[in-house]
Structure 1
Amino acid sequence: MRTVCSECRTPAAVGVICPECMAEQRAAQTPAQKKAERRWASRPMAIVSSDRPRMTLGIIAVTGLVYIIGLIPGLGPVLTSLFAFNSLFLLPQAGVIQPWRLVTVALVHDGFFHVGLNMLALWFIGRSLEPLLGRWRFLALYVIGAIGGSVAVALLAPGVWTVGASGAIFALFGALLVIGRHIGADIRVIGILIGINFAWPFVLAGFNAIGSGDFAASLAAVGISWQAHLGGLLTGAVIGLIYSRTRAASQRGLQTGLMIAFTVVLLALLAVPAIAYF
């Protein structure tokens, strides 16, 4: 094993690659992959960072700090009651409007393994994706992904309490899948990981339903919000497409406008539960 300096590393959708490995990969590329890479390189991102994934580390630090504060006797339930998501807090009919829960849900978790697995996934994806996108694009993806996960919960599981950063994590998965496909990378491993993670609660519910015979009840008892996973995944895929199609510096305004418009559409979808369920 040899080391490579930070100046020689090449950020890629699956990590950083040394010059020799990059040359070997290019030699083995199919014509379709070479064409996709040329399209991506012809209009590069306006700002691409090759530094350490500081935004990823920052998100992990803040989330970890909130978890540690929650371990103080009496503070855990308070943080959960303030930050957890429930669509009832977005309905005028309920009398209390607390929109911050769309995002703060990503800060509170149900136990050590919950926060640990989410932050581990964030680190593995973020250290590859953040250098490719840049810090602020990565943060926007994470935050809007959390919103997308919450919106899906509001649409598909109204009135259900949820906690955790799963929506934001799946948004990173979705964006990485789309961007990797656009640059001609091998996305089969990413697709398999997404499939396993998304199918896991349904597999558990299936095993539990063998004895009870009630799959819906078993799925609810698993305690994993597949709705947030689905919402985050779709949100990340859309944002990944926006990033892929507006890479040039001259398209920075268009990219910002599309991101704002997409966020507005997500928030507008919250009107559906208000009309349909009340």
Structure 2
Amino acid sequence: MSTEPAGGADAADRSNYCYRHPDRQSFVLCQRCGRTICPECMTQGAVGVICPECMREQRASAPRTKPAVLTRARSAAGRGAPVVTYTLIGITLAVYLLQLIPGLGVTNWLYFTPLAMSDIALQPWRLFTTMFVHSTSLIFHVLLNMYTLWIFGQLLEGLLGRWRFLALYLLSGLAGSVGVIWLADPNTSVVGASGAIFGLMGAFLVIQRRLGGQTTQLFILLGINLVIGFVPGFNIAWQAHLGGLIGGAVIGLIFVETRKRSQQALQTWLLIAFGVVLLLLSCRYLVFPLA
């Protein structure tokens, strides 16, 4: 991804670069002073992130004794570690282990089917929970998804910031479920984080292209994964892949086009509006009941 200095840009563009590292582009603002900071300069605060100068002021008046676990977690966050990515991976793997325990029925409670958004059995939580469960008959399903999440999570969480990245992941997963509702048979059952992960790739593709980065390899990777979804016998929900990809691309476009400091409120409202649109689209079988 291009990170050219903003020497030739106007004042608005300069605000998109870290005030301590002028060659590093970022969309993250210090919650106290409002200046742009890169992952290396940010420290996770109670709400949002804080730049080094504001952090020093805060620590000067903070208590000196803290629990060791909390100190280590905050230290990792302060170093710019992708804690949201690690948390999503940890939750998914923990759920997978619970799926393996006979009698719990975790998969039955969390998988998604379009029927869950119909008058037959309204269970809207499945729109989101499906991205945390995977096939227990093929361990490579969860391992491959988590490996891909680890790769793109580190890239995007550092660039977008933790809360934007979490919104991207969850809304992309929701878009994947919407894709299943509109493109698959109503009796289809799906599990997996693939919709959310395709959303990460879609967002990364849009951001790369809009900022002048190379996208050839990503196009090839996306093409291969999309084609695999149509291969007979693989039993892959390509509908979730396509829905997540489109949803992630839309969110990536929102992030790129509203990255200026003065557009932060607009960005939030656009994300909320897109989430509402996805929820409305998920009501297909409530508006038009199955026969």
Question: TM-score by structure 1 length?
Answer: 0.77
What pairs up with 1:76-115 in 2 under 5 angstroms? 78-92=105-119, 94=120, 96-111=121-136, 112-115=139-142
The letter for the 1-side match of 2:39 is S
2:99 is matched with which residue? 70
- 5+ residue gaps, structure 2, are 17-26, 30-37, 41-79
Cα offset for 1:39?
Answer: 10
Match of 2:192 among 161, 164, 175: 164
Superposed displacement of residue 73, structure 1: 2.4
How many residues are paired up?
A: 229
Higher RCO, Cα 8 Å, sep 6+: 1
The answer to whether the 8 Å contact 1:49/1:135 transfers is no
CA offsets 1:143-197 (integer angstroms, 9 cap, x no match): 0001000011011112210000000000000000000111100011111111111
- 1:49 pairs with 2:39: yes
Moved over 6 A (4+): 37-40
Query: What's the counterpart of residue 263 of structure 1?
Result: 275
Correspondence 1:231-246 to 2 at 5 A: 231-246=243-258
128 and 39 in structure 1: CA distance in 2 versus 1, 3 angstrom threshold: farther
Q: Is residue 249 of structure 2 the alignment partner of residue 249 of structure 1? A: no
Measured against aligned partners, the alpha-carbon deviations of 1:83-125 in whole angstroms (never above 9, x if no partner) come to: 0001111112x0x211110110011100311100000000011
* Equivalent position to 1:192, from 199, 211, 220: 220
Q: How does 1:1-80 map to 2 (within 5 A)?
A: 12=1, 41-44=13-16, 45-47=27-29, 48-50=38-40, 51-75=80-104, 78-80=105-107
1:242 Cα deviation from its structure 2 partner: 0.2
Structure 1: runs of 5+ lacking an equivalent: 1-11, 14-21, 28-33, 206-220
User: Superposition RMSD on alpha carbons, in Å?
Assistant: 2.3
Between 1:59-68 and 1:263-272, the stretch displaced more is 263-272
Percent identity at matched positions? 46
Amino acid at match of 2:243: G
Displacement of 1:276 in angstroms is 6.6
Contact 1:84 1:101 in 2 (8 A): yes
Structure 1 segment 79-158 matched on structure 2, within 5 A: 79-92=106-119, 94=120, 96-111=121-136, 112-157=139-184, 158=186
What's the CA shift for 1:68? 1.2
Does the C-alpha gap of structure 1 residues 69 and 277 become closer, same or farther in structure 2, counting only changes over 3 Å?
same
Take 2:10 and 2:103, find their aligned partners in 1: how far apart are those partners?
56
